[in-house]
Structure 1
Amino acid sequence: MFENDLCREAWPILRGMLREGRLPRIALKRCQERGMPFWVHPDDMALLRSSPVARDEILVDVLMRALKSFRRKALVEGGWNPDYRGGRGASCLTTYFVGQCIWEFRRVYTTWAKNRQRWAELHTLYDGSEETARENPKLFGRLLAAGYLSEPEAAVLSTNFADILIEQPAVTQAVISLTIEGYDDTDIADELNITHAAVRMRKTRFRKALYDAARERRIWIPEQLHTKAGTRRTQRGAA
């Protein structure tokens, strides 16, 4: 239970550090001091400072990895000592955990940056045509145009829904398309080579945009994306 509290306390601290660019800079400095190869692309640095979505996306994985290493290093191996009497004294548990998150940033960022590059390349290759999807079913089979889907799914991917979806990053489009097709989070994560946490975060972000549009009676939210019975009732009333 205390780990949930730890994450809640660390989240705004880490978000602020990313927004200010301090988290990557500290991680880079630590790696340089220990001779560990690490580099953050300036474009990625700018994105993490400007985009709340990008910050949340990378922090989800940072926290998941940090929790695992925190349990081992701080609790099992005794890396955190509340009775430490060194020059700076003992750090509080939250400070220790934030430090662990900074250590995990290197691995998480490297994976995140590679996936971003991969999806950007795929998105550039895909021109939205059925011909391209047919020629590359392994890569683009999940991003076929609405007319290529079955009738219920085609109805879901109406103009308004598609307008909202097309504004999202390519990987988010793939997550939502797979969700509509009935895939669960585990299958989606495996299919797209991303973490379960990243799948949930992208769906949560997209739901908010959809719920706003549903309240304005512009779209109908697919059954697979419902999370609350109240949402269904609200939609029925709007219809």
Structure 2
Amino acid sequence: MPASPPPSTSEDDEGLLAAARDEAERRAAESETRRKHDLDLRNALAQEDFSGVGWDRFANELARYGIAVLVVWMRTGRIFVECARRFGGKGKKFSLPPSPLNWTDEERADLATVVVTKAITTFKQKALRGGGWTYSGGASLTTYFVGTCTYEFPNFYTQWINQRAAAAERSLAERVVATTTPRLADPATKTLQEDQIRRAMALLPDERTRIVVQLKADGYTHAEIAEALGDCGFFDETDESVRGIWQRHKRRMHQKGGPDDV
């Protein structure tokens, strides 16, 4: 008995389209069921004026969910994409400072906690009390809440980056001073140390030099520093160019009377 001919390309396409339609209908049905449940939940919380045990339980669940999502999004970089999508577009440029080197999950979790705490307040006032979230809007409560977290993220992230950079610069300057100045408690020495800190910071003319000096102090090689500079947006750096930045920094230290071995 002769074999049946293979199905035509059009039949294959129709099968794929049918499968896609079935999947879309399944997802739509699941979304509708979830949003109906969320509407009931929202109405129940409203009856208690969004307070009490029910609200506390819901807010804690939101917080755990939001922190988990933000930590992953910060780790993968997706949070920057989502913020650019929300605040950019239509010819409007939007960008955030690049994520720091050696960013730990503990730091991400700390920042996520701050963001989520503010987002819960905003979510309660605008999404729940103010009617920003609706059943017909197409998003579940948790999805809408993550959007609120994305809205709150840029301000807190920028503040955190600035505070972190300031702390790192001061730590670096203090290490530079510590190589030549004993830490005594008398006011005269303290004043001298503060003056040397200001002078040390003046010797770091730009962000690229700050990164090189910081990582050299932490024991990184020139090649590793070049790679780190690329991650920070300073592209095309090599171990030779890093060596040049380091040598220029040492010359400036020597010319201005600072130690030339830091």
TM-score by length of 1: 0.48
Larger radius of gyration: 2
TM-score by length of 2: 0.44
